[in-house]
Chain A
Amino acid sequence: MLYFKRWQVIGILLVVLLGFLAVLPNFMSRDTLARWPSFLPKSQMVLGLDLQGGSYLLYQVDRNDYIQKRLKDLTADIRKTLLDNPRIGYTGLGVQGDGVQLRIRDLTQLDDARTRLGKLRNPLDASVLSAGSVYEFDLTVGDDGLVRYTYSQNGLTQRVRQIVQQSIEVINRRINGLGTTEPSIQRQGDDRILVEAPGVGDPTRLKALVGQTAQLEFHMVEGSLTSDQANASPPKPGVTRVPDRSNPQLIYEVDDSALMTGQDLADAQAGFDQTTNEPVVNFRLTTGGAQKFGDVTAKNVGRPFAIILDNQVISAPVIRSPILGGSGQISGGFTVPAANDLAILLRAGSLPAKLTIVEEQTVGASLGADSIRAGIAASIVATVFIAVFMIVCYGILGAFADLALIASNFLMIGILTTLGATLTLPGIAGIVLTMGMAVDANVLIYERMREEAHAGRSTLAALDTGFRRAFGTIIDSHLTALIAAVALFELGSGPVRGFAVTLAIGIISTLFTAYLVTRLIVAGWVRWARPKAVPL
């Protein structure tokens, strides 16, 4: 046990050296690193949000909101389909719970209605699992003329996944438009998106940029009324009531079908109105959008249209002349940053569904700096405590254990750095705790050596047997700790995961250093000092 082949010695020293080299970049500035030879490791440990400050926002797709939106679209489509020639009469069209219901008046037209309405079921891409195609809506047409669409649960799962994907793309574009910080945006589970933004002081702006649906629509205005009047009477069919953004008492009645939507926009930029000098958003339409808009405005000169963002009317200008150039201006009492953000949102496109924040954590930068200081202080104090304690209890062998402990720390931090793991405060706690556990293997070995020496073995034999006999126990004790670490990882939300990862890596590096590095040191010491007795 105390004899090493040359390649073994080199191997062990090499691993320790690699660990040391991997840790080094953490102590250097980026400038120094840039001049660092390319064959050496360069990665630095990523600090968690709790250490550097920042925001952690967990969004979830609002399924209900999405379903309601789609049902509203469907209602408009049904109306359009049935009004086509030959016209099919119906009553009671409307959204009911998670479906749309209507009744066909003339039962002789039922077959025609069935074919026409069937086309609105909206087939989704057939998934790998189900052979038949999946529809977004399930349709039942009763012989009594009662028609009911319901949102298909099968279709929903698939849609939600697409929504998450699209949302991530949109959010990425929005944040790139912001151009300052580099947040990470990840899918989490089936219907969630995790946005982590380091360093943002107040997340209000970030939240507004990420979470706003930013659905822009232009609608013709049919009329306007006060909210009291609106409460007193139900809206006419075919119009929707939308409140004004700055004055919630003012309710506009707008035509259900949109003149154009955010998808028709080619570009949007913040600017100033040339006459009033008020901050505005200038937009340019796509070729198709420009044509559509030109036609509509030509037909409706003198009438107002509403610019609606997320179900609020920003402004309702009157069309003075046909807008043929395909560009226009949105004004609505914006501040400069608000106009900027709106331009970013419009450029990046709207979110396919509403996103709700289900979990949020924001840590101020000074608090993070505090935590780093505390973590470093705790690590140093713990190391000193343990090192002194080991020397007091095990003398020179304790000092060897301390060397192994230092090697283990380098290895652990080196592995964490190389893996690109994120260091969190619980992670630091994991490192400190592992230090306490790291010497356990040494304790097991040394206690064994004592026993063997007391049992009358020669010095060399006692040292040797100590390592050999303790091995099984060390493996047992480390593996059980590893089981706990795996469970912790499974438990897994951010910071606890950080703890689990450092714990697991610590257990592995400890196993290596306590068993191999200590043994190597002891072997060297035996050869050099030729001890007459086990110094315990």
Chain B
Amino acid sequence: MKFPIRLIPDGTNLPFMDWVRIRTPISLALIVLSFALFFTIGVNQGIDFKGGTIIQAHNANGPVDIGKVRGVIDGLNFGDVQIQTTTSNGQTDALIRIALQPGGEEAQQQVVDKVKTALGSGYSLENVEVVGPTVSGELARSGTFAVLFTIAGIMLYIWFRFEWQFGIAAVATLVHDAILTVGFFAVTRIDFDLQSIAAILTIIGYSLNDTVVIFDRIREILRKYKQMPIREVINLATNQSLARTIMTSLTIELALIALFAFGGPVVRSFTAAMIWGIFVATASSIFIGGPILIYFNIRPRMVEAKAEEEAAKATDTTAAGA
């Protein structure tokens, strides 16, 4: 084997544009599935959006007796309660999730006191998180707003840097990725909270990053080979960027896997979503972002005006560098 190794052999020329018959149904099916899951079983809304209380109870006198904890908490009649074990620092603790209680902010505060009293002095509350009804509503709103704000910002940016057709193609790609990530949350039942929104936003940013690199290449080829059919241009650009697309995704996935395996339980759900999201974003930038442009009737002259500007800039830098 030659060193350094090539993951993508030189001169790779895969017929991406010919795979429309496989690609489109898969992608559409996944979107429909994500929507269906979202509207049927929905995502498992976390405490940030739903409000409620999470308590990690630690037994000072040995391992936690989950049956006893369950019995004690059930006796308090909090309605929807989930109890599971969690391991940190080599100790097994009980993780108690209690739904938002009726009766405003104060009712939530009483939950913690009641649990503490009911569990008795042998138990200490290691980690307590309470989100009241006011804040949870606000977080849900600002989360939605942040996603919309990002998409709008990105559209503007692409429009400014490229042409509006590219902007729409990029947004279509990242909406696809966002929907599939929500689908991921619906399937895995991972808590959908503020961290999940953060994951989606990061994935959107990354998806765009990937797509933009391919768009850059499409534009460059359009300038260079004015007679080349757009279909071939897109295919060539995708192939030429393929090594970079795969390499970058792999390095990020490596970082995420390290985080998933060693980063502890707090960031695990975030990392899991990111691992999936980066995978989807990579696939979609290869199979959707570029190919979708074929429906927009891109012509070389469209990039001409901006191309000249950039060419002028490039000559300047060359002159300065020489």
Contacts and interface: CB of A to CB of B under 8 A. Distances in A.
Interface of A: 1, 3, 50, 58, 60, 202-203, 356-364, 366-367, 369-371, 373-375, 377-379, 381-382, 385-386, 389-395, 398, 425-426, 428-429, 432-433, 435-437, 439-440, 443-444, 447, 450-451, 454, 464, 468, 472-473, 476-477, 479-481, 483-488, 490-493, 495-496, 499-500, 503, 535-536
A486 B153 contact: yes
Contacts of A391: 4
A188 to B, nearest CB: 11
Nearest to B54: A361
A432 B4 contact: no
Nearest to A365: B126
A390 B72 CA distance: 54
A374 B105 contact: no
Given A378-B264, A484-B205, 10 more contacts: A357-B108, A358-B135, A367-B127, A392-B5, A433-B256, A447-B244, A476-B161, A480-B205, A487-B153, A493-B139
A528 B213 CA distance: 33
B263 A476 contact: no
Given A362-B125, A440-B248, A480-B205, A429 B263 contact: yes
Nearest to B116: A204
A426 B248 contact: no
A480 B208 CA distance: 7
**Those 4 A-B pairs whose CB atoms lie nearest each other, nearest first:** A484-B205, A374-B264, A436-B255, A436-B252
Contacts of A499: 198
A392 B145 CA distance: 42
Contacts of A356: 104-106, 132
Interface residues of B, number: 83
B262 interface: yes
Interface string B149-178: 110011001000100000000000000000
20 contacts: A1-B321, A356-B105, A357-B109, A364-B58, A366-B89, A367-B126, A374-B266, A375-B263, A382-B254, A425-B264, A437-B248, A439-B248, A443-B251, A477-B213, A483-B153, A483-B205, A484-B202, A485-B205, A490-B145, A491-B142
B259 A433 contact: yes
Contacts of B201: 484, 487-488, 491
B252 to A, nearest CB: 3
Nearest to B254: A385
Interface in B7-28: 7, 10
B105 A357 contact: yes
Contacts of B38: none
Nearest to B194: A496
Contact of A393 (B131, B143, B247, B321): B247
Contacts of A425: 263-264, 266-267
B123 to A, nearest CB: 12
Contacts of B106: 356
A499 B195 CA distance: 10
Contacts of A203: 128
A333 B197 CA distance: 51
B56 interface: yes
A463 to B, nearest CB: 12
Contacts, number: 244
B270 interface: yes
Contacts of A371: 264, 266
Given A370-B264, A436-B256, A491-B197, A360 B251 contact: no
Given A392-B5, A536-B4, A483 B154 contact: yes
Nearest to B248: A440
Contact of A488 (B4, B202, B256): B202
Which of B125, B135, B251 has the most CB atoms of chain A within a 10 A radius of its CB? B251
Nearest to B247: A443
B304 interface: no
Which of A371, A436, A472 has the most CB atoms of chain B within a 10 A radius of its CB? A436
Interface string B296-322: 000000000000001000100110010
A500 B149 CA distance: 15
B262 A378 contact: yes
A436 B132 contact: no
Which of B5, B201, B253, B255 has the most CB atoms of chain A within a 10 A radius of its CB? B255
Contacts of A382: 254-255, 258-259
A392 B266 contact: no
A428 B263 contact: yes
B209 A480 contact: yes
Contact of B146 (A444, A464, A490): A490
B263 A491 contact: no
Contact of B204 (A439, A484, A491): A484
A340 to B, nearest CB: 21
B202 A503 contact: yes
Contact of A432 (B161, B197, B255): B255
A492 B251 CA distance: 27
A392 B258 contact: no
A105 to B, nearest CB: 40
Contacts of A433: 202, 252, 255-256, 259, 274
